[in-house]
Amino acid sequence: MVSIILIFLQTWVTPIKITPDSTPLTNFEPPYVTSDHQGKIWFAWQEDHWAPIRSYTLARYYESGILSEPDTVMPENLVFFLQGLTRDKNGNIWVLGDDDSEIWTRYYDGTQWSDTIPIPVFPSCNHAATGSADSTGNYWVAWCTGYFGIHLVYSCYYNGVEWSPQIQVSDIGDSWPYGMATSGNGRLWLVWGCLNGNPDSLYVSTYNGANWSTDFSLDGDIEIRGAFITSSLTDSSIFVSYRKGNGTFYVLRFVSNNLPPETLWLNSEFETAPVMICDDLGQLWLFFCDSLSQYDYRLYYAIWGGDSVTSPQLVDTGNAYNPRTTFDPYHRRIWVSYKDAPVAAQAIYATYTDLEGIHENKQINPRPKNFIICTPNPMKNDCIINYVILRKEKIFLNLYDNSGRLVKKIFNGEKTPGTYSEKISLKEYPNGVYHLLLKTSNAIIKRKLVLIK
């Protein structure tokens, strides 16, 4: 019997209009999207109004087919730039923005928004900031200083009470941060660029608990539109994408800060570097745009599943530009949000697809087989394991950590044919990847289980 992998084309739901009215957005800031631990999908976007001139940063969430009322989450300002939307370890939703000199953030704790929290940047921020969360629950921000025109990248983190001292990242002038991500082993990564034109270049740094170390310098001639970074949910990989001035974009995979990256994909057919997100099957989703005319863009996606990248497919939308993406662990869905035009956009939309049936192990002449699934996955503390036994026999259902050590004996004994559920709790165990193993007389079924508290 031969095993093969089938990859199914996805059907995206009818796009959901996120913005509440048709006021032109008239800005280039992307619509940000993230998810919390309870199944809410959060959106943040910027609306510019010209009479009078004001700029709003709004946020709302989508849950069970309903959009919440939008909240104005950042101060009104003549010049304001939305810079990110992030979920931390505890499920809080952070929004970040700057006005060319100061940076603000605030978070939603599941009930209400916190007060606006100013970030202690010195001497000032020069319209470049990015936020992320580490594995211990700290909220990180990196920004570009405006010190006498010599732009350096600095960072600091908020531990729930106060900000840390500033930590310098770059020592090269005209440098800007693009994004941060935390790998599965808890290491914080930052991608940043130097835009001094000699030529422009890209760097990847990691944080060792005290200082930043610049581990990699990537190709020169990096396009000013920047780079993107995301982390794997199933191992310690970090993925970086960027576009060069010659029109070729690259997708790289870092498995260690001590090893050079692996090039997963390079492509010169599409105009934008991919934004990326990983799912709990170990797949990397890539979203990128291509233009039919100056104002007519289309949104595409492709999937890297461990061996190669699938052929790009069109997301079923009309015009779409400046996408952002997230993975919803509660419902196991991939979401993508986007503007409907590059300039003077009328609205922000979002669409999603389920993960079920994306990559499934199939067999030629398939027959009924034992089955196991974990919900939710990733899990926060508790998980329900559902499995099917086809005949009366003795089974072994155990959980192992990533080193192969037995963590829990879930069930070892005889079962009759039927569907079963077991609830497990990993409250006392650290975040990471675990392996669920169901052994019967003629089969061994394995599933990865990701713990993110």
Asked if residue 292 has pLDDT above 90, the reply is no
What pLDDT does 177 receive? 92
Asked if residue 414 has pLDDT above 70, the reply is yes
Percent of the residues in the chain that have a pLDDT greater than 90, as a whole number:
35
- Respond yes or no on whether the N-terminal peptide bond of residue 31 is cis (omega within 30° of 0): no
| pLDDT tens-digit readout, 202-223 | 899 999 999 999 989 887 777 6
Ranges 149-153, 288-292, 443-447, most confident: 288-292
Mean pLDDT, residues 431-449 taken together: 80
Between 297 and 230, whose confidence is greater? 230
What domains sit in the chain, N to C, each tagged with a CATH number?
3-354 (2.120.10.10), 368-451 (2.60.40.1930)
Asked if residue 254 has pLDDT above 70, the reply is yes
Count Cβ atoms below 10 Å from residue 314 Cβ, excluding itself: 12
Is residue 139 within 8 Å of residue 182, measured between CB atoms? no
Mean pLDDT, residues 336-347 taken together: 81
Mean pLDDT, residues 289-306 taken together: 85
Count Cβ atoms below 10 Å from residue 241 Cβ, excluding itself: 25
For residue 438, name the pLDDT band (cuts at 50, 70, 90): confident
Looking at the DSSP assignment, which residues form a beta bridge with residue 51? none
Between 184 and 148, whose confidence is greater? 184
Between 129 and 8, whose confidence is greater? 129
For residue 369, name the pLDDT band (cuts at 50, 70, 90): very low
What pLDDT does 182 receive? 95
Cβ density class 133-146: b for 16+ within 10 Å, e for less: bbbeebbbbbbbbb
40-49, 190-199, 412-421, 433-442: the lowest-pLDDT one: 190-199
Collapsing DSSP to helix, strand or coil, 365 comes out as coil
Strands (E), 294-381: 296-304, 313-314, 321-328, 333-339, 348-354, 359-363, 371-375
Is residue 94 within 8 Å of residue 85, measured between CB atoms? yes
What pLDDT does 357 receive? 43
What pLDDT does 92 receive? 92
What pLDDT does 231 receive? 96
Which runs of consecutive H residues, i.e. helices, occur in 289-400?
none
- Neighbouring residues of 11: CB distance < 8 A, sequence distance ≥ 6: 316, 353
Q: What is the 3-state secondary structure (H, E, C) of the chain?
A: CCEEEEECCCCCCCCEECCCCCCCCCCCCCCEEEECCCCCEEEEEEEEEECCEEEEEEEEEEECCEECCCEEEECCCCCCEEEEEEECCCCCEEEEEECCCCEEEEEECCCCECCCEEECCCCCEEEEEEEEECCCCCEEEEEEECECCECCEEEEEECCCCECCCEECCCCCCEEEEEEEECCCCCEEEEEEECCCCCCEEEEEEECCCCEEEEEEEEECEEEEEEEEEECCCCCCEEEEEEECCCCEEEEEECCCCCCCEEEEEECCCCCCCEEEECCCCCEEEEEEEEEECCEEEEEEEEECCCCECCCEECCCCCCEEEEEEEECCCCEEEEEEECCCCCCCCEEEEEEECCCCEEEEECCCCCCCEEEEECCCECCEEEEEEEECCCEEEEEEEEECCCCEEEEEEEEEECCEEEEEEEECCCCCCEEEEEEEECCCCEEEEEEEECC
Count Cβ atoms below 10 Å from residue 220 Cβ, excluding itself: 14
| pLDDT tens-digit readout, 15-35 | 999 988 656 666 667 899 999
Between 448 and 225, whose confidence is greater? 448
| pLDDT tens-digit readout, 117-145 | 999 887 777 777 899 999 888 999 999 88
- Neighbouring residues of 120: CB distance < 8 A, sequence distance ≥ 6: 156, 163, 166
**What would the DSSP string read from start to end of 94-159?**
EEEEE-SS-EEEEEE-SS-BPPPEEE--SS-EEEEEEEEE-TTS-EEEEEEE-BTTB--EEEEEE-
Between 364 and 82, whose confidence is greater? 82
Distance CA 235, CA 297 (A): 34
Compute the mean pLDDT over every residue in the chain, rounded to the nearest whole number.
83
**Cα(first)–Cα(last) distance of the chain, in Å?**
40
Asked if residue 375 has pLDDT above 80, the reply is no
Residue 349, Cα to own-chain centre: how many angstroms? 18
What pLDDT does 344 receive? 67
What pLDDT does 91 receive? 86
| pLDDT tens-digit readout, 385-412 | 877 777 788 888 888 888 788 889 998 9
What pLDDT does 196 receive? 67
Q: State the pTM of this model.
A: 0.77
